[in-house]
Structure 1
Amino acid sequence: MKILQIVNPIIPFPPLTIGGIERIVQYIIEELLKEGHEITLMAHNDSKVPPGVKFIPIGSYNDRKNTAKKVWKHLLFNKYDVIHNHGRLIYFLPVIWNNTSKVHTFHMAEIRSKSFLNFFKLKPRRLILAPCARWIQKENADLPGNWQFVNHGIPIQKYTLGTDLINEQSPLVIICRIGAGKGVLDAIEIAKKSNKKLIIAGIGGDNPHELHWFENIFLKQCDGIRIKYIGPVNDEQKQVLLSNAVALLMLSIDLEAFNLTMLEANACGCPVLSYNRYFPPDFIKSGINGFIGNTQADLIALAKNLSTIDREKCRLEFELNYTSKIMTNNYLKLYNQ
């Protein structure tokens, strides 16, 4: 099939550290190429695409107000079997009523808006809305549209089962954009009350209020020994970090659609310890690949049970449900509807 993938031009493709959406599109493209499909990518001007992929630049973060016009112009003069949009719904306008197979992936949790409802007043044809998690579909069950969620996935070979011995000295880990809404302070409290070391990885925000919180609240909690901040990590560093961790903490306070770090952790055999909200309740099978708790006290108590998890079975749970091949096969089913 001739397939177009569209990504908002926020950062270049492929991403190096941050960029969850771009990573997912990268994984989809890699799997589609293996199947022999003809792929075109519309993305940030500075993107670098794999061999065999046609690339169409559509702007940058600073020039994004002109992006829609560039997408529309291309769609008016080019035909595809499938258009898979990871950006704005309005990109579909030139093809809204034609018979092209159209899939829109929602990578965020906040969907309800006036613009969404206005778009569906146009009665689009052959459009499937594919949120990246089941909980988002359930939350929006009253909205118009053909909804069929597809869970994210990562390449099966990207991370390997850790072989290091996990013991009482093994740390908890949290990997995220360092901010008040990600539950970092909760992670620190859980680690202290569980008598465990904590390693914190990620980058801080660059807005003034984020910088103030980072410098005046967060960093003062880090002693470099029991509570250690190591900055952003790449894939190789994540492999080592998660392989040596007793668990990954997933404690987001802000709405979070899906978090790839959970998959990366399980791929290394590392279980996830999470609050009972957003995506983790659909992802975690208690005692198999992690534990779920409603409160901080729950998670402190559950941390004592982390040694009961079989890390090989944790890895197997990932292999059976959350690889990029499984994700792409699920999208192919939507493409063919």
Structure 2
Amino acid sequence: MKVAILSSIAWRTPPRQYGPWEQVASYLTEGLHQRGVDVTLFATTDSVTNATLEGVIGTPYAEDRETDPKVAECLHISHLMERSEEFDLIHNHFDFLPLTYSKLVRTPLLTTIHGFSSTKILEVYRKYNAGTSYVSISDADRDGSLDYIATVYNGVDSKDFPFEPHPQDYLLFFGRIHPDKGTHEAIQISRQAGKVLIIAGLIQDDNYFDQKVKPFINDRTVFYLGNVGPDERKTLLGKALALLHPICFDEPFGLSVAESMFCGTPVIAFNRGSMRELIVDGKTGFLVHDNDEAIQAVDMLGRIDRQECRHWAQAMFSKEKMVDGYLSVYERILSRR
């Protein structure tokens, strides 16, 4: 079986810091390679993989203001599609644009839908619904107008997030600094709970950061560490008393939630989107509906067995389980030919 993995080129694969789509594409590529699959990763040429790397874009466009994202995406996607007959299957982690090539090539196209940035893009997914295959990353993120071949949860390499049985006395917000992610809510929760809050993540909305986050950063009770890399991420997650995830939108998955539980760190999350699939309420964290319930949950963190968080994450969100899921999907698609 020869598989092409089409990764995003906003960031390197795997990302140096932020880049959840690229991280999942990397874990899958390495996992398939370890299973003996002939896999080629199409990504930026500075990407790192043990499999075969192909690319025409040298620098991720999010890191280079001189790069036109649309031009880069066009060159990147077409580079794979013009070589499509070399592969038995193309696995798309690049959203809806590659679908527009699907009727022009003979190689089956599988798309992992990492969420819908807008309801407007559904028109594209619907157009190619019958001729391609879709995987959802949670049952909560499915759209009723589309057909799905499976749900495959995003997987994490457990070696990247070692278990930490002895946390420190701080809460962590880890993710994009954006209204959707609830950074301001995390600040309010931690303040009212009387806990130190550490914030780490990419500033995606400058106005929101300046108005709702920055005024509260005092380097005593609220710290902002910037957009941190893998080594700092695993330490911050592992040493945290809990991860605060007060999302203000229906999140498709939430990679940091799984990463946190791998470290043994429970998650307090607003019960939206996929959170009820990721978190076992009262066992690996708490599903809450507002700030007040989140504050109460902070007081109940002593009830959580951190080892149980680790076991749950390994059972549900391991790289190995994700690879198993996708190999099963690949076999189903190829058996139709």
User: For 1:3-58, what per-residue CA distance to the aligned partner results, in whole angstroms no more than 9, with x for missing partners?
Assistant: 011123222322111111000000000100001111122223x4323244131325
Q: How big is each residue's C-alpha offset from its partner over 1:56-86, in whole Å with a ceiling of 9 and x where there is no partner?
A: 3257633443434653464345421111001
Between stretches 153-162 and 222-231, larger displacement belongs to 222-231
Task: Return the offset for 1:94.
Answer: 4.2
Match of 1:82 among 82, 85, 89: 89
Q: Does 1:251 align with 2:246?
A: yes
Tell me what 1:271 maps to: 266
Alignment-mate amino acid for residue 133 of structure 1: S
Structure 1 SS opposite 2:160: coil
Matched residues, number: 324
Amino acid at match of 1:196: K
Q: Look up the SS of the partner of 1:303 in the other structure.
A: helix
* Higher mean C-alpha deviation, range 327-336 or range 196-205: 196-205
- The counterpart of 2:115, out of the listed 88, 108, 111, is 108
Say if 2:312 is the partner of 1:306: no
Compared CA separation, residues 74 and 161, structure 1 to 2 (3 A): closer
* Structure 1 residues 231 and 98, CA gap change in structure 2 (3 angstroms): closer
Check conservation: 2:260, 2:266, Cα contact below 8 A: yes
Q: 1:172 to 1:9 in 2, by over 3 A?
A: same
Structure 2 unaligned regions, length at least 5: 62-66, 333-337
**Runs of 5+ unmatched residues, structure 1:** none
In the other structure, the counterpart of 2:160 is 158
State which drifts further: 154-163 or 196-205. 196-205
* Aligned positions of 1:71-150 closer than 5 A: 71-72=77-78, 74-79=80-85, 80-96=87-103, 100-110=107-117, 112-113=119-120, 116-118=122-124, 120-121=126-127, 124-125=130-131, 127-137=132-142, 140-141=143-144, 143-150=145-152
Which residue number corresponds to residue 177 of structure 1?
A: 176
Shifted more, 211-220 versus 265-274: the winner is 211-220
Q: How far, CA to CA, are the matches of 2:224 and 2:183 in structure 1?
A: 11
Mapped to 2, the partners of 1:56 and 1:314 lie a distance apart of: 38
Moved over 6 A (4+): none
2:91–2:110 Cα contact (<8 Å) kept:
yes
* Partner residue in 2 for 1:32: 32
> What is residue 256 of structure 2 aligned with on the other side?
261
Structure 2 CA distance for aligned equivalents of residues 272 and 119 of structure 1: 33
Of 311, 328, 334 in structure 1, the residue corresponding to residue 323 of structure 2 is 328
Alpha carbons of structure 1 residues 332 and 225: separation in structure 2 relative to 1, 3 Å: same
| Percent identity for Structure 1 against Structure 2 | 24
Q: How far apart are 1:286 and its partner, in Å?
A: 1.4
Deviation at 1:132, TM superposition (A): 1.5
C-alpha distance in 1 between matches for 2:292 and 2:53: 52
